[in-house]
């Protein structure tokens, strides 16, 4: 493999030689929003039950009404109930909801527990029995989703920092890079690569786009993947993949011709170009993320659209999967959906998801 010989002076690079994957701009806030939603939805109940567990009082005469547990996705169980009780001569009426991971099949038995220090705080005993289960579940999912979003934000900030550093001329050091994915679309070639072949490898991946007429400078093949030539710009964290005409480096025409001369004599240019065409079907990680979250978004939009049609426009309240979707909705959305159905079908029997404890009237 020939060596790339560049002038021994600081050189600047073209703009946008390092790109930010488009998935970062929408998947990061989506994942972060899911983490925030999970914390807002579950954390208050977990904190309430933890406070109750410090000094609980179990009421034998308390009334657990409309209790119901629903298993979602095989292992996630969501239980809700209305709690009516009296303590120290004062009456209380509240609703609780708890979620935990369980492989239990069948019914649950539960009672009513309150905090001796704050009797307005009440829960079902099942919530106390599964308290550590709930704490671990909430912590793991919050850390997973929050970590993913913060990790993607960190990677995006690193890319933007590198792009800022590339604006200043610096000495360039040639390094081989393994090209892990090509994606050619609408005359734009998107390339993902890493520096695992370099002597000073960091294991980091980078992403770049080349417009029509630009091709990467391919110098060989390793482990069935194309090997491209990149340069490290000073002490930047990511290498920059070069194009086969060195238009990305600020060189004179004579310097560019002299630098490319060894590569023009090395192998067949068409054979090197074939390495670019061969992996086109390989999908980069960013493309996979985009496909995954795009599909997920379409499903969510479709389900929400069908649910809105069901609760606002359906000809009957007994419509499946509308009833099932409405039952799976978070409590505020479920209550709103049931109120819309009740406006049109209030004189008839309530559907699944809006039915009270007698399985007939509206809740």
Residue 54 shares a structural domain with residue 107: yes
Residue 293 shares a structural domain with residue 258: no
Which residues, 6+ apart, have CB-to-CB distance to 274 below 8 Å? none
Residue 50 lies in domain: 28-141
Residue 114: inside a domain: yes
> Which tens digit of pLDDT belongs to each residue from 175-184?
888 888 877 8
Q: State which of 264, 282, 300 marks the end of a domain.
A: 282
d(CA 230, CA 262): 16
> Which tens digit of pLDDT belongs to each residue from 233-259?
888 888 999 988 888 888 898 998 888
In the chain, the number of structural domains is: 3
Residue 151: inside a domain: no
> Which tens digit of pLDDT belongs to each residue from 54-85?
999 998 888 888 888 887 655 778 888 999 99
* 178 three-class SS: strand
Residue 271 shares a structural domain with residue 185: yes
d(CA 350, CA 156): 50
Residue 301: inside a domain: yes
d(CA 168, CA 235): 12
| CA-to-CA separations, 61 to 67, 82, 111, in angstroms, rounded | 16, 14, 10
Residue 271 shares a structural domain with residue 292: no
Model pLDDT, residue 48: 93
Is pLDDT above 80 for 16? yes
Confidence class of residue 265 from pLDDT cuts 50, 70 and 90?
low
Confidence class of residue 118 from pLDDT cuts 50, 70 and 90?
very high
Residue 301 shares a structural domain with residue 259: no
d(CA 6, CA 10): 10
- For 112-145, b where at least 16 C-beta lie within 10 A, e where not — what string? bbbbeeebebbbbbbbbebbebbbebbeebbeeb
pTM above threshold 0.75: no
Residue 117: inside a domain: yes
């Amino acid at each position: 493999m020939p060596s790339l010989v560049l002038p021994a002076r600081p050189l600047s690079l073209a703009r946008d030689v390092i790109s930010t994957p488009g998935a970062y701009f929408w998947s990061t806030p989506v994942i972060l929003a899911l983490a925030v939603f999970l914390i807002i939805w579950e954390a208050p109940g977990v904190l309430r039950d933890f406070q109750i567990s410090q000094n609980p009082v179990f009421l034998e005469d308390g009334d657990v009404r409309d209790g119901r547990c629903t298993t979602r996705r095989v292992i996630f169980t969501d239980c809700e109930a209305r709690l009516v009780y009296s303590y120290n001569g004062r009456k209380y009426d509240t609703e609780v909801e708890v979620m935990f991971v369980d492989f239990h099949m069948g019914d649950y038995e539960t009672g009513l527990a309150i905090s001796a220090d704050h009797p307005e705080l009440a829960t079902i005993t099942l919530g106390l029995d599964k308290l550590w289960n709930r704490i671990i579940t909430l912590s793991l999912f919050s850390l997973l989703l929050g970590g993913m979003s913060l990790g993607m934000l960190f990677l995006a900030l690193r890319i933007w920092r590198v792009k800022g550093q590339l604006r200043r001329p610096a000495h360039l050091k040639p390094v081989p890079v393994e090209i892990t994915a090509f994606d050619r679309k609408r005359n734009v070639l998107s390339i993902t690569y890493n520096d695992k072949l370099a002597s000073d490898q960091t294991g980091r991946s980078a992403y770049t786009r080349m417009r029509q007429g630009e091709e990467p400078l391919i110098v060989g093949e390793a482990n069935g993947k194309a090997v491209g030539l990149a340069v490290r710009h000073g002490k930047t964290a990511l290498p920059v993949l070069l194009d086969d005409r060195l238009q990305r480096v600020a060189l004179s025409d004579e310097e560019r011709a002299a630098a490319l001369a060894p590569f023009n004599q090395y192998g067949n240019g068409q054979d090197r170009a074939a390495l670019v065409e061969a992996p086109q079907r390989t999908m980069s990680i960013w493309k996979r993320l985009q496909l995954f979250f795009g599909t997920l978004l379409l499903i969510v939009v479709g389900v929400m659209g069908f649910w809105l049609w069901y609760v606002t426009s359906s000809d009957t309240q007994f419509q499946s999967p509308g009833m099932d979707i409405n039952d799976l909705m978070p409590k505020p959305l479920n209550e709103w959906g049931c109120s819309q159905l009740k406006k049109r079908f209030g004189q008839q029997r309530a559907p699944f998801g809006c039915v009270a404890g007698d399985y007939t009237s509206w809740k």
